[in-house]
Structure 1
Amino acid sequence: MPEVQRAAQALWDFHCVYDTLVPSDVIIGLGSYDTRVASRCAELFQRGLAPHIIFTGASGNWTQALFPDSEAKSFQAQAIANGVPKKAIVVEPHAKNIGENIQFSAKLVPSAQRVILVTKPQTQRRCAATAQKQWPAVQSLVTAPKTTFEDQPLAHHDMRALICEMVGDLERIRRYPALGFQAEVNIPPHVSRAFDALINAGFVDHLQT
């Protein structure tokens, strides 16, 4: 389905941010089903971009059957396996959404001035908008594992799940500013058209009801 592929690529390109990174006070890894985020945090730590990592995330709908513990604890284990000392990691195992990821992490480092937020590639735009609203006192730099759209699906989160996730996140980017959860984001017309096309094609599993 080339139309679906083109529309999905348009959403992927919009969701990806990849800020230019500079030394910061802390690296914050947002928990999810994708442990490549933890590996990316480890890479940034080993490059000396921050002296500590916070992993934040409870056990959610997509991960309660995937990990033996919280997302944060599972990410900690992945980072340690990638060479990060345990003493350099703080675990925040209670956050259940991106807003709480930001809010709870902010309480752990109240004096931070610049942070690096690491999330899935397709969640970067929403993460940035949430940080702008929920933690405006800091400079937030957003990044992710540098995977391509084609390489992003996993055995437990296939291409259909990925596309539905991107559609759902764009819906939230549209709706959440009015609820006070995120900053306003300008959505280009071609992205809105791609969003509508994917909904019409049935990629609606992650839409809110």
Structure 2
Amino acid sequence: MITGKQPPVTEEVRELARSLWNYHRLGHSVQKSDAILVLGSHDPRVAERGAALWLDRKAPLLIFSGGLGNFTAGVWEEPEAVLFGRIARRMGVPEDAMLLESRSTNSGENIRFTRDLLRDKGLDPESFTIVQKPYMERRAYATFKKNWPEKAVQVTSPQISFEQYPTESISMEVIIQSMVGDLQRIREYPKKGFQIHQDIPKPVWVAFERLVALGFDQHLIR
């Protein structure tokens, strides 16, 4: 959880953060798949993006995966998947088109627990569209490919720019803290067997180091 006084978001910080934002986003063009898998998040716009894709007939099955994680435990009173499912129903997605996985607490569990749920239901989709926040696209992709390498996957997110992404509950400071921590995880988690390896361009890592030096270190692995 990211709390307390945050470093100022100067123009230098914004430029450094844009470098991380652009790296984290994959820019996949969304094609039809067998299932849309919306990963748990503290951002309801992720659920809206997943539901909109289903309504646009991008897949016949919509899955929400998420219990209470790093940003929602102690804040939300119900699992992320439950809240996201309610958003989708309000948007017009019928109950029989959705599956909810509400035990997972991190990205790896999102994938593994969803795989187990589908197996229990006798379902075996061959291709997935993953939906996550823009600045978690790359990490979501790397986690999926590590845990379910035989499946085809594409990743998307709410179609909102870096400048317009902050809300009253998700500040620019929190976004930057999250991006810094996730970039460190992209580098370190393959060593732990959590993700596939992905190259990090030197300018992106230099931007990461400068942001850490400026105080954006609350989401780092300790």
Shorter-normalised TM-score: what interval?
over 0.9
Within 5 A, what are the aligned runs for 1:19-98? 19-98=28-107
CA drift at 1:18: 2.8
Output the CA distance in 2 between the equivalents of 1:117 and 1:155: 26
Output the CA distance in 1 between the equivalents of 2:128 and 2:187: 25
Output the CA distance in 1 between the equivalents of 2:117 and 2:150: 14
TM-score, scaled to structure 1: 0.96
CA drift at 1:20: 1.7
2:213 aligns with 200
1:116 to 118, 123, 129: 129
Output the CA distance in 2 between the equivalents of 1:107 and 1:184: 24
Q: Is the 8 A contact 1:39 1:79 kept in 2?
A: yes
CA drift at 1:115: 0.5
Between 2-11 and 108-117, report the one with greater CA deviation. Answer: 108-117
CA drift at 1:66: 4.2
1:135 aligns with 148
The one-letter code sitting in structure 2 at the alignment partner of 1:51 is P
Within 5 A, what are the aligned runs for 1:163-182? 163-182=176-195
Output the CA distance in 2 between the equivalents of 1:24 and 1:81: 23
Secondary structure of the structure 1 residue equivalent to 2:110? helix
Q: Is the 8 A contact 1:18 1:144 kept in 2?
A: no
CA drift at 1:109: 3.0
Output the CA distance in 1 between the equivalents of 2:167 and 2:39: 18
Runs (5+) with no aligned partner, structure 1: none
CA drift at 1:65: 4.6
Output the CA distance in 2 between the equivalents of 1:44 and 1:183: 27
The one-letter code sitting in structure 2 at the alignment partner of 1:49 is K
RMSD of the alignment, in Å? 1.1
Kindly provide the CA deviation profile for residues 88-107 of structure 1, in whole angstroms up to 9, marking residues without a partner as x: 11110011100111111122
Runs (5+) with no aligned partner, structure 2: 1-9
Aligned residue pairs: how many?
A: 209
Output the CA distance in 1 between the equivalents of 2:27 and 2:86: 25
1:6 to 10, 15, 24: 15
Q: Is the 8 A contact 1:33 1:66 kept in 2?
A: no
